[in-house]
Structure 1
Amino acid sequence: MLQGTEVLTTAQMRAIESAAMASGQVTGLDLMERAGKAVVAAILRKWPDYETHPEGRPHRAIVLCGPGNNGGDGFVVARLLAGKGWQVQVDLLGEAERLPPDARANHDRWCGIGAVRPIIADVGYTYQAELMVDALFGIGLSRPLANNLWGVFDGIHDAVNNLFCGPKSPGVDHVVAIDVPSGLCADSGRLLADSDLHVWGADLTVTFQTLKPGHLLSDGPPLCGEVVVAPLGLAWAPSEPRCHQVTSGQVAKRGGHKFDHGSALVIAGPSSHGGAARLSARAALRIGAGLVTIAPPQDALPEHSGQPDALMRRAINDGVALRDMLADTRINAICIGPGCGIDRATALLAEVLPARRSTVLDADALTALSRDAGLMATLHGNCVLTPHLGEFARLFPDLAERLAETPTKGPAYSKLDAAREAAARCGAVVLLKGPDTVIAHPDGRACIHSAFDIPWLATAGAGDVLAGIITGLLARGFQPLEAASLGTLIHAKAARAFGPGLIADDLPEMIPQVLRDMGA
């Protein structure tokens, strides 16, 4: 069983807010007030020392307000912080007269408390405060930031990163972003900024109702810092197609015969190339497949004679031998690609795909697919493709090209978009790997898993282990999208549990601990 939290796009979030306001459930001013209160509450939870003012000296905050409703949220935050005794400076990008009505109302409320300083493009700024609140653009940014904001952004960047020298140098201790840090596309996690423009990150990002894709993808996780999702009390029907962040799951062990837990076949490659397939096979065993068989060519069989003894070995030299083996209908999941060799993968895929068993295609199998349109045409809904970005570019060059383009407007094309289009095109589940992994079903359902906190997972063989975990889950009866999503979660949890110094061989051995922690 897989569990997750829904992820909404900017358009979906706006539709929910608009529907709530149109129905009379809430007003725009109510939403801004709720948002501002949520931001202040998140600030005080993260930095409880800000609740009090030591030695009678007020804390200082700078609130940067933009020309839209995100700026309106900022005015609420400024007013609430001032009510708690903070010394607050409010800077506005744009003209008050051009603010949307609700943002203008909160601007005017703030003006009853303090001044508003205009932000002037091309003018360098120096900021000094404990806290800076970024309410400039939020999810509303739809075009690249202009070069004439260089002075503003350069000054903020310097202040945030304390580039000045000396004990009394100007700077900002903490940055809080409302929805997303300015310059970030909330739908893709990509920067909508000229390449030479300094963009700063946040220590804390407060978003509302749900995560947005940009919090999990591309530049989003490192720029957003800690992300807090604050409810606004809005009711909404789940959106279709749905996207979730993978957060938890369960792999309960059932009773019964070993074949009740599935039989997985891992196709290995020629002599001296067997390590990748053994990693996959070991992972499939550890995740609980009832029986796992590794199948190299006959002359490579001896090198697979070591541990684990639970692993079955059987030679497969060609398509005829594989066809004979697949006559055993108890084999319900196949892994092909890791260390297989491109020519061998090409030949054997011609037998594997027509059998329509649950199949994980990785590494050499993906390269074989990219070179043979006929094989691509035989993919089916029980397949899971697990490309990294380089393999994805060979399989779907036009989609990879769109991903590589510099965004000129928002929403920018994202890994989520690319994976969904690829899955729809090939009729199989596509798992696009990376520190931001996206798993997409042909019907548009998708899951996102971010693992930017596990840099040591970028190690040779880690992908082979992931392929084996997914194969084992498929053997146990999980559907392809669920197996790929849950497998990605378990893979990351295993790496996180081991810690720095991880090599791929360690990952299968961490799976039992992960399963125990998940309640299996």
Structure 2
Amino acid sequence: MSPDASKPELLTNMEMAAADRLTIAAGPPGSFLMESAGAAVAREAELLAPRQGRIVIFCGPGNNGGDGFVAARLLAARGFFIALGLLGRLDALRGDAACAANAWNGDVSAIDELSLDGADLAIDALFGAGLARDLDGSAKAAVLRLNEWARASGKPILSIDVPSGIDGSSGQIRGVAVQAERTVTFFRRKPGHLLLPGRLHCGRTVIADIGIAESVLSIINPQTLANGPAIWKSHFPVPRVDGHKYSRGHALVLSGGLAHTGAARLAARGALRAGAGLVTVATPREALGVHAAALTAVMTRLCDAPDELADLLKDRRKNALVMGPGLGVGAATRDFALAALEADAKSPEARRAIVLDADALTSFEGDALCLAQAIEASGAPVVLTPHDGEFARLFGMLTSDVADAWRKREPDPEILRARLAALHSPSKLERVRAAAALSGAVVLLKGADTVVAHPGGGASIAEDLPPWLATAGSGDVLAGIIGGLLAQSMPPFEAASAAVWLHGASARQFGPGLIAEDIPENLPPVLRVLFESLMLRRA
């Protein structure tokens, strides 16, 4: 009943509701699902409370509260002392929740009269993932009281589905939210279990099987996945015995001037450690000496202007390009990016994968349309890797005021309006999806909950990135790892998702005290375990 790699699908509130409906239509009644959910909650509660301990259950007015009533009945039968409170009137409950309440033989208190004195565990059964409004009134007071009790007593809260107050689809807080130590959810997790700030409120999340058939996934076709090998392993490049360096691709990294060379070297090292057969740093003449003195396995080529980059890119063996780290913000960098994209537009027979990061994105501030048009004209697989500030600078100006300029790319005004609006959504997932659709590129928005989305709407969410990744140069290495995987012909969405996972795994391998230079050097043990696992599966 814990999250595992075999269940990467993340279901939005609507998708989870569809899974319930499809299951009920196939036979098992809703009461069966509620009984199974309540039983799963009771099992988790037994792990958190001492034998014959006092458990206080806060029930809401819907099915989440119904799950709480079932858990109360089962826990009481196992010898626990149960106190149960209801938000709202007992006679206002409907459907399966009403049936579950009728089967409970104990007392039902008003929620604001429910005492937490002497409790060993509190169960939050107030609201599930589909909460559609901010909590207020008695509901808000109950959440605040639960959180204060947990803080003062050091005792745990177990939440059902998601902590009350968390939007399951976005991870956003609806007014206030329960701070749970553990959350039990059903069939599959929701995006809100992984996205911040929701993840910080869930504690440890466990998944319970309540009788929903796996076959419903093929009907629902969920578009959001937890990032891990399960979603990209079939595309991951495992070196072949008969392979050689040329068969593993050639990544080109564009360097900035003399005072900003480190970022390019970090990216180049990341690409090399990720498996690219060859890596070259294209450097201005003023920085050549610095690179030549610092680089060994990485080659150098001179490149001072966009036309010189275009000449380098005539060699189609250089099949992945990383540009942006330390490149500088301004017209020159913008021209370099456009020259790289134009080079692919002129050579449609062999599209080069391009990673645009950092300064290459900020150089298009307020003019994402120009970048999107160049990406479309090139036909190249492109990955954009902004952090929040770069994302806002690139896409923040895309409001309805500039809709006319985008209409040729998306003639349906309703779709266009929705995408432009989504760029300002509080949901990180929806922002990244909209940016990918508008730009025609895979977009990776960095953070502890890094989201990768492709233009077709599919997305991955990272769930286990260590906090020490927040260090100078870390993003440069990530861009390089993506470039190294792209050089080995990995598809862009899978390459970006895999790079995020490798980046985090390498940082965990090293541990606290990490600096950016440590990330590439800790990839080998991570790759060794990954290769052994993949080769075992493919054997």
Q: TM above 0.5, one fold?
A: yes
Q: 1:462 aligns with which of 465, 474, 480?
A: 474
Alignment coverage as a number of residue pairs:
487
User: Which structure has greater helix proportion?
Assistant: 2
1:375 to 368, 371, 375: 371
**Are 1:96 and 2:90 an aligned pair?**
yes
In structure 2, the CA distance between the partners of 1:127 and 1:379, relative to structure 1 (3 Å rule), is farther
- 1:14-58: CA deviation from partner (whole Å, max 9, x where unpaired): 01111211232x1111001111111222344x54x74xx3xxxx2
Q: Is 1:214 aligned to 2:192, yes or no?
A: yes
In structure 2, C-alpha distance between the alignment counterparts of 1:124 and 1:397, rounded to whole Å: 47
Distance in 2 (CA, whole Å) between partners of 1:91 and 1:10 is 26
**Could you tell me how far 1:317 is from its partner in structure 2?**
0.8
- Partner Cα separation in structure 1 for residue 395 and residue 16 of structure 2: 30
User: Unmatched 5+ residue regions in structure 2?
Assistant: 345-351, 400-419, 533-539
- The DSSP-based 3-state class of the residue aligned with 1:161 is helix
Seen in structure 2, the aligned counterparts of structure 1 residues 277 and 212 have a Cα distance that, compared at 3 Å, is same
Quote the residue 1:264 is aligned against: 251
The answer as to 2:339 corresponding to 1:351 is: yes
Q: Which residue of 1 aligns with 2:396?
A: 397
| Counterpart for residue 166 of structure 1 | none
**Residue in structure 1 matched with residue 359 of structure 2 by the alignment:** 364
TM-aligned CA distance change 1:141 to 1:150, over 3 Å: closer
Q: Counterparts in 2 of 1:124-273, with a 5 A limit?
A: 126-162=116-152, 171=153, 173-193=155-175, 197=176, 199-235=177-213, 236-238=216-218, 239-240=220-221, 242-248=223-229, 249=233, 250-254=236-240, 255-273=242-260
Please tell me whether residue 331 in structure 1 is matched to residue 331 in structure 2. Answer: no
Kindly provide the amino acid, as one letter, of the partner of residue 56 in structure 2.
Answer: I
* Partner SS, residue 293 of structure 2: coil
Deviations 1:239-265 (A, max 9, x none): 346211012245411232211000000
Contact map agreement 1:241 1:443 (CA 8 A) in 2: no
Match of 2:364, SS state, is: helix
Q: Distance in 1 between the 2:107 and 2:70 partners? A: 14
Question: Any idea what SS the aligned residue of 1:514 has?
Answer: helix
One-letter amino acid matched to 2:238 = A
Which runs of at least 4 in structure 1 moved beyond 6 Å after TM superposition? Answer: 399-405
Cα distance between partner residues in 2 of 1:206 and 1:3:
17
Contact 1:337 1:364 in 2 (8 A): yes
Query: How far 1:505 moved relative to its partner?
Result: 0.7
TM-superposed CA distance for 1:339, in Å, is 0.3
Moved more, 242-251 or 346-355: 242-251
Query: Percent identity of the aligned residues?
Result: 45
C-alpha separation in 1, matches of 2:144 and 2:93: 25
Q: Which amino acid aligns with 1:363?
A: A
Give the corresponding residue for 2:416.
none
In structure 1, what is the equivalent of residue 107 of structure 2? 115
Query: Which residue, 13, 18, 30 being the options, matches 1:15?
Result: 18
Q: 1:516 — aligned with what?
A: 528
1:433 and 2:446 aligned: yes
Contact kept, 8 Å, 1:241 with 1:444, in 2: the verdict is: no
Contact 1:271–1:299 (Cα < 8 Å) also in 2: yes
- Give secondary structure in 1 for the equivalent of 2:57: strand
Distance (whole Å) between structure 1 residues aligned to residue 292 and residue 205 of structure 2: 48
Letter in 2 for 1:179: D
RMSD between aligned alpha carbons? 2.1
Could you tell me how far apart the structure 1 residues matched to 2:360 and 2:303 are?
16
Instruction: Write out per-residue CA displacement over residues 116-165 of structure 1, whole angstroms, 9 at most, x where no aligned residue.
Output: 11114xx7965431111100001131100014545433322211111xxx
Deviation at 1:399, TM superposition (A): 7.2
Partner of 1:74: 68
Does 1:424 pair with 2:431? no
Give TM-score, length-normalised by structure 1.
0.89
| Larger mean Cα displacement after TM superposition, 342-351 or 297-306 | 342-351
SS in 1 for 2:11: coil
Residue 61 and residue 330 in structure 1: after superposition, are their counterparts in 2 closer, same or farther (change >3 A)? Answer: same
Amino acid of the structure 2 residue aligned with 1:378: A
Specify the SS of the correspondent of 2:375: coil
